[in-house]
Amino acid sequence: MGNTKLIQKNKTNKILTTFRSQRKQSSSGVKTSPRESRHYIRGGGCPPRCILGRDPPPTTSMTPTSVSGFTGSPRAPPPCNMSAPMELQCWRGDWGLPSVEPGSLTVMAYAKFAGAPLKLQRTNNPWWTPTGSLPVFKSGKNVITQPLQILDHLRKQNFNADYGLSPKEGADTLAFIALVEQKLQPALTHAMWLDPVNYVELTRPWHGEAIPFPLNFVLPNRMHHAAEERLRQMRGGDADPMEEAVQSEIYAEAMDCLSLLSHTLGDKEYFFRDSPSTLDAVVLGHVAPLLLAPLPSAKLQQHLKGLDNLCRFCQRILAQYFPQDEQDGPRSKNHQRRQNEPAGSPSEGDHEPHKLRNQLLSLLVAVGAMVGYALFHGLVTIERVGGADTDADIPTEMYPDGGASDDDDGGDS
């Protein structure tokens, strides 16, 4: 179904795709089977950026101890890691966003910018993850949960969106990321998880829908408490994030931060130069949810809508790099659909696979039980023949929903 459509769509980027697969011949070019290729995010509808054509900047006078710098000279890709498929478990998208969660969105955007073949699994289930939160990045034995560390990892894998940056711009990137993390993120967390109106009317029902069945009664509350704890600790132990004074301080700082970002962006298309880099991904990750989430109580959103260039920046990047998600249609339509089928999923595309997934899941459980029974009683014995085959198959089997939800990406387009 969605398969063919996706391939058609990808034709438009064919040049770019082939370009890249040449570059990473050792990795994806060899490994990718046609079946798997549809899971990869290809560099969406971005203008063909001549990444390879640009010379890496001259290495600066930095000390050799530099780590994963934003200006980093391209490193020799470690071939062993390259062979491991990279996958990202994240929250699914809505409201015209490819993912509703800032961390997931940041990583997805960066992967698009850098052209990293990232397999998305919109599990919507942070129950089994190491830190109890999403996104989780897996590549071979590497499991990373911090969005910024994921970007570091991608950079080390030579998927670097920051080739073009001067050392100073690299430093600025680091500083502005700190600004966003310290000033904007708390407000975003507050608006989504702690504002009582937003939490009850939007965040909780949304997550209740998105998270698979029994856990959706537990997880939203757990995430709410985690958000509260995080905010409390960021502001210092005594400050109660529900207190009005603290709250208005958080929002005032966030508004300040948004204005600063808007000033820094100015009339430029991207924060640095004419191609998107890490900072663009981080800003997008934090600003786009704020802009597009239909928050019932939206002080910050009002302020953000006054900053035209920042809004246009988000819309532009979303339109260029995540075109299929734009076709969810305007928000009002979304709303309507949500109201029409309160128990169902927000978009048609999601609706089908959910059903499919549930069926698949129950089937899997039944088959698993039978196979387990058989194995346990020695009715069947298994001999391991070769490692390569199983390696390739395990991920798709372990996450049966991954393929399904990616289908909807294709189906929507």
Q: Which stretch binds another protein (CB under 8 A): 153-161, 171-179, 203-211, 396-404?
A: 171-179
Q: Judged by CB, which is closer to another protein: 55, or 238?
A: 238
Determine the residue type at 234.
M
Long-range CB pairs of 136-142, under 8 A, 24+ apart, other chains included:
136/88, 136/89, 136/90, 137/86, 137/87, 137/88, 137/89, 137/107, 138/86, 138/87, 138/88, 138/89, 139/81, 139/84, 139/85, 139/86, 139/87, 140/81, 140/83, 140/84, 141/84, 142/81, 142/84
Contact call for residue 146 and another protein (CB under 8 A): yes
Contact call for residue 43 and another protein (CB under 8 A): no
Q: Give the integer Cα–Cα distance in Å for 30 and 84.
A: 12
Residues 266-305 close enough to bind another protein by CB under 8 A: 266
Contact call for residue 308 and another protein (CB under 8 A): no
CB of 31 to another protein, least distance (A): 30
CB of 314 to another protein, least distance (A): 18
φ and ψ at residue 306, rounded to 5 degrees:
-75, -15
The only residue of 41, 261, 290, 317 in contact with another protein, by rule CB under 8 A: 261
Contact 223, 159 (CB under 8 A): no
Contact call for residue 182 and another protein (CB under 8 A): yes
Total Cβ atoms within 10 A of residue 10: 18
Contact call for residue 143 and another protein (CB under 8 A): no
String of contacts with another protein for each residue 56-85, x by CB under 8 A:
----x-xx-xxxxx----------------
Contact call for residue 264 and another protein (CB under 8 A): yes
CB of 195 to another protein, least distance (A): 15
The only residue of 82, 179, 194, 298 in contact with another protein, by rule CB under 8 A: 179
CB of 116 to another protein, least distance (A): 21
Q: Give the integer Cα–Cα distance in Å for 285 and 277.
A: 12
CA dist list (Å): 23 to 41, 102, 322, 368: 16, 30, 23, 41
12 CB contacts (<8 Å, ≥6 apart)? Answer: 45
Determine the residue type at 1.
M
Q: Give the integer Cα–Cα distance in Å for 314 and 96.
A: 11
Q: Which stretch binds another protein (CB under 8 A): 34-42, 234-242, 324-332, 385-393?
A: 234-242
**Crossing angle (nearest 10°) for helices 2-11 and 14-23:** 90
Distance of CA 65 to the CA centre of its chain: 30
Q: Judged by CB, which is closer to another protein: 250, or 292?
A: 250
Q: Judged by CB, which is closer to another protein: 161, or 292?
A: 161
Q: Judged by CB, which is closer to another protein: 37, or 277?
A: 277
Contact 402, 396 (CB under 8 A): yes
Sheet containing 142-144, strands listed edge to edge, beginning at the edge strand earlier in sequence: 118-121, 86-89, 136-139, 142-144
Q: Which DSSP string corresponds to 342-361?
A: TTS-SSHHHHHHHHHHHHHH
Contact call for residue 176 and another protein (CB under 8 A): yes
Contact 29, 22 (CB under 8 A): yes
Q: Judged by CB, which is closer to another protein: 211, or 250?
A: 250
Q: Judged by CB, which is closer to another protein: 178, or 375?
A: 178
CB of 268 to another protein, least distance (A): 11
CB of 131 to another protein, least distance (A): 7
Q: Which stretch binds another protein (CB under 8 A): 20-28, 252-260, 283-291, 339-347?
A: 252-260
Please tell me whether the peptide bond between 78 and the residue prior to it is cis, using omega within 30 degrees of 0.
no
Q: Judged by CB, which is closer to another protein: 201, or 249?
A: 249
Contact call for residue 252 and another protein (CB under 8 A): yes
Q: Give the binding-site size for another protein (rule: CB under 8 A).
A: 44
β 136-139/118-121 pair status: unpaired
Q: Which stretch binds another protein (CB under 8 A): 162-170, 282-290, 307-315, 333-341?
A: 162-170
165 CB contacts (<8 Å, ≥6 apart)? Answer: 57, 70, 71, 173, 272, 273, 277
Q: Which stretch binds another protein (CB under 8 A): 28-36, 178-186, 309-317, 389-397?
A: 178-186
Residue 136 β-bridge partners: 89
Contact 112, 322 (CB under 8 A): yes
The only residue of 45, 77, 167, 400 in contact with another protein, by rule CB under 8 A: 167
Contact call for residue 379 and another protein (CB under 8 A): no
Interaction site with another protein (CB under 8 A): 60, 62-63, 65-69, 131, 145-146, 167-168, 170-172, 174-176, 178-179, 181-183, 229-230, 232-234, 236-239, 244-245, 248, 252, 256-257, 260-261, 263-264, 266
